[in-house]
Amino acid sequence: MNVISSRLLLRSKWTATNRFHDETHFLVQSVLHDTHGEVKSVVLQGINNRHHYEMPINQLEDSDRWRIGWT
């Protein structure tokens, strides 16, 4: 399980262990919060195609699918 700090999440770099929308490297472009101020999802930008994808935060916590940083 990836331990994610909400304070450091914005502009962080991520690597998908399996290709996600034909990309492996992503950058967090924005962090979306619920009404209680908890992080509910993030918007990832693919490095090669520059497309944006909204993803629930619990998916990034899965270390079998995502790695912190670009590897």
Residue bearing tokens 């993030």: 42
Q: Which of 23, 34, 35 is nearest to 56 (CA)?
A: 34
Q: Tens of pLDDT along 1-56?
A: 888 988 899 999 999 999 999 999 999 999 999 999 999 999 999 999 999 999 99
Q: Tens of pLDDT along 54-67?
A: 999 999 999 999 99
Spatial distance between the Cα atoms of 41 and 53, rounded to a whole number of angstroms: 10
Which pLDDT value is given to residue 6?
A: 86
Which pLDDT value is given to residue 29?
A: 98
